[in-house]
Structure formats: structure tokens, C-alpha cells
């Protein structure tokens, strides 16, 4: 294992398509739920402990070798919003392209054949981590960091928020990211013995509703 591969996979410049998505921040900004750094922090905290935990658990399980096709079905079941399912598969397709070019893998090739229009992004992320020689914890850290860094970066663009303030939000959330990673990896390990019901299923109804509203906007800066 080379830990430098983790830096490559987690790098915001890795061409996985995340820059085009706000993680729900665009809809929250328009609705007045994010007006500055304090509200951004609360938004990211809520996202981290719900959708973030679910995604990290899926990524960890995939990195540990759970069946990715079954995990994709579990991801569908945990994503009520059709708009978010579409976004997750678009992100998965782009991440698949980048991962296969960077770390060629038979497992990635097989998943790409199974889901030509894209598997859920956290499942692809877990397999990408495996292909890079990384473990479940690494995959989970990539997932949780993306969960909060995406909205933070988007809010800088949407509100002209000071980038230093946005980075401070991420730093303050670091201990909670550690906690969510531990829970996600534990759940991923349990999947191997207990099945898919061991995966987290945290709900964020407002994120889901906002995603459906956002998808209907005629003009928007971000895809989701």
C-alpha cells in the first residue's frame, strides 16, 4: 500500500466531477438556510451525520470486498430522491473513468460493464480505493471529506464566502469526520458477516426534498 495514493484519490483536482455539484448547498443558499460560515457549518454537520455516514459506509464496505452490485442496490434504497440517485450515478460514472485510467482494475471494469450509465459514486469510490491499494478507512475518509468539502467550496462561489472561513468550517468538523469514519468502517465490516442491513440508513428529508426542487430549476450553477 502507498498512502500517497490516498492523497491522489482525495485531491479536489482528481477529475471525478465533484466540482460540478454542491451537495445541496445551492438550494440551501437560495432558501436562506446558508447565509454565512455559521450556517454552512450546521449544514455540513447535518449532512455529515446522515447522507455522509451512509455514503462512507457504502464506500467502506466496497473497499472491504462486499458485492458492489448488491451495494449499489442498497445505495438506491437509501436514496429516496430520484434527483439524488441520478446525481450519484453521474458522479459514479465520472469517478469510474478517472479511476480506471489511474488504477486499472478488473473489479472496476466489471462494475463498469454492469452499470454502463454509472454505479452509485460511493460504491465506485470503495472499489477505486481497493484498486489503489487502500483500505476501508481510507475510502471512508475520502467519502466524508467530499461530503463536507463540496458544499463548503460551492458556498464560497455562491455567497463569495471568505475561503478562509470555509476552510475553518472544515477544520472544526474534523473530529466529527473521524467519528463518522469509525462508524462507517465498523458498519462496512459488519456487512461482510451480517449482510446489507448492517449499512447505515440515516435520513435527511430536507436534503432530499431540496434536491427535487433544485432539479427543476431552469437555471442553476451546480448540477446538484
CATH number, position 211: 1.10.4190.10
Rg, C-alpha atoms of the chain: 16
Residue 50 lies in a domain: yes
Q: Give CA angle at 81 (144, 37), nearest 5°.
A: 45
- 120, 88 contact by CB (below 8 A): yes
Which pLDDT score is estimated for 12? 86
Is 222's pLDDT higher than 90? Answer: yes
**Rounded Cα distance, 14 and 18, in Å:** 9
Residue 75 lies in a domain: yes
**Structural domain tally of the chain?**
1
Residue 191 lies in a domain: yes
Residue 222 lies in a domain: no
**Rounded Cα distance, 113 and 130, in Å:** 18
**Of 3-7, 20-24, 130-134, 191-195, the least confident:** 3-7
Which pLDDT score is estimated for 133? 96
Nine-digit cell string for 219: 437555471
Residue 95 lies in a domain: yes
Residue 156 lies in a domain: yes
Q: In the block, which residue shows the cell 471525478? A: 16
Give the tens place of pLDDT for each residue, 87-145: 999 999 999 999 999 999 999 999 999 999 999 999 999 999 999 999 999 999 999 99
**Rounded Cα distance, 76 and 143, in Å:** 17
Q: Give CA angle at 70 (55, 6), nearest 5°.
A: 40
- Closest listed residue to residue 50, CA positions, set 71, 87, 24: 24
Which pLDDT score is estimated for 1? 56
Residue 47 lies in a domain: yes
Residue 14 lies in a domain: no
- Look up the domain containing 189 and give its range: 4-9+22-215
Give the tens place of pLDDT for each residue, 17-40: 888 999 999 999 999 999 999 999
Amino acid at each position: 500500500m502507498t498512502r500517497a495514493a490516498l492523497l491522489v484519490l482525495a485531491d479536489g483536482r482528481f477529475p471525478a466531477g465533484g466540482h460540478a455539484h454542491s451537495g445541496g448547498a445551492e438550494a440551501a443558499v437560495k432558501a436562506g438556510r446558508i447565509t454565512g460560515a455559521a450556517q454552512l457549518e450546521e449544514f455540513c454537520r447535518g449532512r455529515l451525520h446522515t447522507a455522509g455516514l451512509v455514503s462512507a459506509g457504502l464506500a467502506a464496505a466496497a473497499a472491504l470486498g462486499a458485492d458492489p452490485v448488491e451495494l449499489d442496490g442498497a445505495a438506491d434504497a437509501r436514496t429516496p430522491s430520484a434527483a439524488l440517485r441520478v446525481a450519484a450515478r453521474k458522479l459514479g460514472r465520472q469517478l469510474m473513468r478517472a479511476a480506471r485510467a489511474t488504477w486499472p482494475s478488473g473489479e472496476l471494469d466489471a462494475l463498469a460493464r454492469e452499470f454502463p450509465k454509472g454505479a452509485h459514486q460511493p460504491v465506485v469510490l470503495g472499489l477505486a480505493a481497493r484498486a489503489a491499494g487502500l483500505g476501508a478507512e481510507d475510502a471512508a475518509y475520502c467519502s466524508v471529506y467530499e461530503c463536507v468539502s463540496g458544499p463548503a467550496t460551492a458556498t464560497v462561489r455562491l455567497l463569495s464566502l471568505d475561503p478562509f472561513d470555509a476552510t475553518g468550517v472544515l477544520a472544526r468538523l474534523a473530529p466529527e469526520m473521524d467519528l463518522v469514519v469509525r462508524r462507517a468502517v465498523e458498519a462496512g465490516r459488519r456487512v461482510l458477516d451480517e449482510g446489507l442491513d448492517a449499512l447505515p440508513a440515516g435520513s435527511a428529508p430536507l436534503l432530499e426534498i431540496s434536491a427535487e426542487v433544485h432539479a427543476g430549476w431552469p437555471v442553476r450553477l451546480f448540477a446538484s
